[in-house]
Amino acid sequence: MLKTRFVKLLLFGFISVLLFPSCKHDPLIPPNPVVPVNPIDSSDFSGWPCGPDTIYFQNQVLPLLISKCTQSGCHDVASHKEGVVLVDYQRVMSTGKVKAFNPGNSKLYKVIVDTDPGDRMPEPPYSPLTADEIKLIRTWIEQGAQNTACNENYGSCDTQNVTYSNGIAPLLSSRCTGCHSSTNPQGNLKLTTYDEVKASAQGGALYGAVAQLPGYSAMPKGGTALSPCFVSKIKAWVDAGMPQ
């Protein structure tokens, strides 16, 4: 008797595991570009954690391209200079003529390493990509040029002690400064020094723009919104008085 009850219990447990899977993955890319602001210090288990050796298209490659190549007059949808549009995976692959595993045959890669300033991208007066940025694109192509994404803050969102140098500057330099530096201050805004970022934060525009609040231009312009955790970090930094 006891034994059958035990077997029934086991069976019930097994079936409920089948019926109610506890591990639900969110879609890779959120369909809605408007970021809900998470409560500060929430844990974030959406998506997948980032592996140390993989280059992630959505997290690293696309933000770089958006920031360095899609300003007006260049490779945004409206300008589509020479037919090249670098705003999403499909168009990067097709109009950038990316050949998976083969950077040397990929137009996107060839133009960023071209030593002739007349052919190089980004073209003068913009500065060439840095060695690290070039390596990032090369490695992504060598790894198969997949549409990969991960969650940089998987499992936790630490908004304690965010400073300009440990949290804000690295984030802005990967997502924003292509369009907000002295060579290319779009919207007449530079975000490359502590004072510049502080000034923008004090007026409320920095947080308003990344949280995509009404009344502000949604940033990064034309790109994927920052993750809720990054938005929370910016808010925490502003609320803490913008520590350097």
Shortest Cβ contact with ligand HEC: which residue? 187
Q: Using CB under 6 A as the criterion, which residues of the chain lie in contact with ligand HEC when the complex forms? A: 66-67, 70-71, 172, 175-176, 178-180, 186-187, 189, 200, 205-206, 209-210, 216-217, 219-223, 226
CB of 72 to ligand HEC, least distance (A): 7
- Of 103 and 228, the one with the shorter C-beta distance to ligand HEC is 228
Cβ(231)–Cβ(30) below 8 Å:
no
Q: How far apart are CA 47 and CA 112, in angstroms?
A: 31
- The burial of 217, by beta-carbon neighbours within 10 Å (0-12 exposed, 13-18 middle, 19 or more buried), is given as exposed
Q: How far apart are CA 77 and CA 31, in angstroms?
A: 19
- Of 175 and 235, the one with the shorter C-beta distance to ligand HEC is 175
- Of 106 and 184, the one with the shorter C-beta distance to ligand HEC is 184
Cβ(204)–Cβ(93) below 8 Å:
no
CB of 237 to ligand HEC, least distance (A): 12
- Residue 142 has a CB neighbour count (10 Å cut-off) of 14
CB of 225 to ligand HEC, least distance (A): 9
| Residues contacting residue 89 through CB under 8 Å, at least 6 positions apart | 57, 58, 62, 147
- Of 145 and 169, the one with the shorter C-beta distance to ligand HEC is 169
- Of 122 and 178, the one with the shorter C-beta distance to ligand HEC is 178
CB of 198 to ligand HEC, least distance (A): 12
